[in-house]
Amino acid sequence: MNPAKVVRNKVRSLTDLPNIGKAMAADLNRLGIHSPDQLKGGDPYALYGQLCSVAGQRQDPCMIDVFISVTRFMDGGEARPWWKFTDERKRTLQGRDRDTNQR
């Protein structure tokens, strides 16, 4: 959902979350996540690693940005566009994985 349209007290399904549409909700389902509450306290980098493993291939690193946005939102943060987390991801991953950090 577009972050500007998210109403925190009306979040019931994954697609009610900021930056989550049908495809991303399906990816979360593949990880065993079926409700927004399951994202509370989640580690966005671990979620990305799990998704890469389940998919059998490296996923777009921007997925990490989406995972950061939804885990932060579920931990009480504001609904923000996923790309607002790109610089944070790049700083966090700097030197850890040059390939993941390129986007």
Residue with tokens 């990816």: 27
Q: What is the pLDDT of residue 97?
A: 61
Question: Could you give the number of structural domains in the chain?
Answer: 1
pLDDT for the residue 101: 45
Rounded Cα distance between 52 and 79, Å, is 25
Q: What is the pLDDT of residues 5-33, one digit of tens each?
A: 999 999 999 999 999 999 999 999 999 99
Q: Residue range 32-45: average pLDDT? A: 98
Burial category of 82 from C-beta neighbours within 10 Å (exposed 0-12, middle 13-18, buried 19 and up): buried
For residue 19, the enclosing domain spans 3-102
Indicate which CATH number applies to the domain containing 25.
Answer: 1.10.150
pLDDT tens figures, 47-76: 999 999 999 999 999 999 999 999 999 999
